[in-house]
Amino acid sequence: MRPRIAVPADTLTEATNVINERMAPYAPKPIIEAIVKSGGVPVILPSVDPQFVPDYIDLFDGVIFAGGADVDPTFYGEEPHQKLGATYRKRDLFEIELLKESLKASKAVFGICRGLQVINVALGGTLYQDLSENPATVLKHSQDAPGNFPSHHITVSHETKLHYLMGDRPYVNSRHHQIVKKVAPNLKAVASADDGVVEALESTENDRILAVQWHPENMFKHYPESQQLFADLIKRAQNGN
Ligand code: MN
């Protein structure tokens, strides 16, 4: 059987005339395509009450926490900064519970952009609500170039999963205004941009967590090393159960 990869859904919050589409759960098409191309079966999970999370656990082998709205800062003990973007607390609650239960069940976890941030917060880390809060952040992390173009380099620590998959200095895209402040216990920063921004996290304990701050789902069609990240998730999902 192909590994089943859960994607907790985002929610369409814009007004729509069609009542059935109001607040509709959805997942980004490039992530679904990347899972399928890598040999997995995508399973989209809506942001329902977190008490349902244990009922979902047997439905998947790995999980991708995808991009989306800012994480509600009250989850890391802060009031909202003026430059905080839109938040959606219901998704945060569902994803935080889903991450915790997934790790208990030894599922393979991959985080993308907001996904990296929500994993860090769920495990006890913190964020800068906007990168302007950290004066050292001087590079452009919200690129104006098309989303599938790389725009800044990152330096990857040796002897990490990410180094094995992408080498010393991959060239990646960048579409985020929040960044990691404190890395959660049991996670380690394994890549950074030249201004020190954390660009990837891995577990210190096992191979269950890899998370990146950029968007490999927008690059995998043309950049084989981005494809490697999804192939690695599928492999870890196969090995875990
Ligand atoms: Mn960046």
Determine how β-strand 152-153 pairs with β-strand 171-172. Answer: antiparallel
Q: Is 151:143 a contact under the CB 8 Å cutoff?
A: yes
Average pLDDT, the chain: 96
| Exposed e or buried b per residue across 123-145, where buried means at least 16 C-beta atoms within 10 angstroms of its C-beta | bebbbbbbbeeeeebeeebebee
Residue 241: pLDDT over 60: no
Closest CA to 95 of 145, 134, 143, 53: 53
Mean pLDDT (whole number) for 203-227: 96
Ligand 1 centroid to Cα of residue 141, in Å, is 4
pLDDT at residue 96, as a whole number? 98
H/E stretch holding 224 reads: helix 224-240
Q: Where are the alpha helices (DSSP H) in 51-141?
A: 53-56, 89-104, 114-122
Ligand 1 centroid to Cα of residue 70, in Å, is 15
Identify whether 225 is a catalytic site residue.
no
Confidence of residue 239 (pLDDT cuts 50, 70, 90): confident
DSSP at 43: E
Give the separation between CA 92 and CA 69, rounded to whole angstroms: 9
Residue 158: pLDDT over 90: yes
Ligand 1 centroid to Cα of residue 5, in Å, is 25
pLDDT at residue 14, as a whole number? 83
Identify whether 215 is a catalytic site residue.
yes
Determine how many CB atoms are found less than 10 A away from the CB of residue 103.
20
> Residue 25 forms beta bridges with which residues?
11
pLDDT at residue 20, as a whole number? 87
Residue 25 has phi, psi (to 5 degrees) of -75, 140
Ligand 1 centroid to Cα of residue 215, in Å, is 9
Ligand 1 centroid to Cα of residue 197, in Å, is 7
Q: Out of 95, 97, 113, 202, pick the active-site residue.
A: 113
Residue 114: pLDDT over 80: yes
Q: Out of 95, 199, 202, 217, pick the active-site residue.
A: 217
pLDDT at residue 16, as a whole number? 85
Confidence of residue 154 (pLDDT cuts 50, 70, 90): very high
Ligand 1 centroid to Cα of residue 147, in Å, is 12
pLDDT at residue 173, as a whole number? 98
Identify whether 177 is a catalytic site residue.
no
Mean pLDDT (whole number) for 143-159: 97
- Name the one residue in this structure whose structure tokens are 């059987």: 1
Ligand 1 centroid to Cα of residue 19, in Å, is 37
- Name the one residue in this structure whose structure tokens are 């725009």: 151
Ligand 1 centroid to Cα of residue 219, in Å, is 14
Beta strands (DSSP E) in the chain are 4-8, 10-11, 25-26, 41-45, 62-65, 108-112, 127-128, 152-153, 155-156, 171-172, 179-180, 187-192, 198-203, 209-212
Q: Is 200:211 a contact under the CB 8 Å cutoff?
A: yes
DSSP at 71: P
3-state secondary structure of 8: strand
User: What is the model's pTM?
Assistant: 0.97
Mean pLDDT (whole number) for 187-193: 98
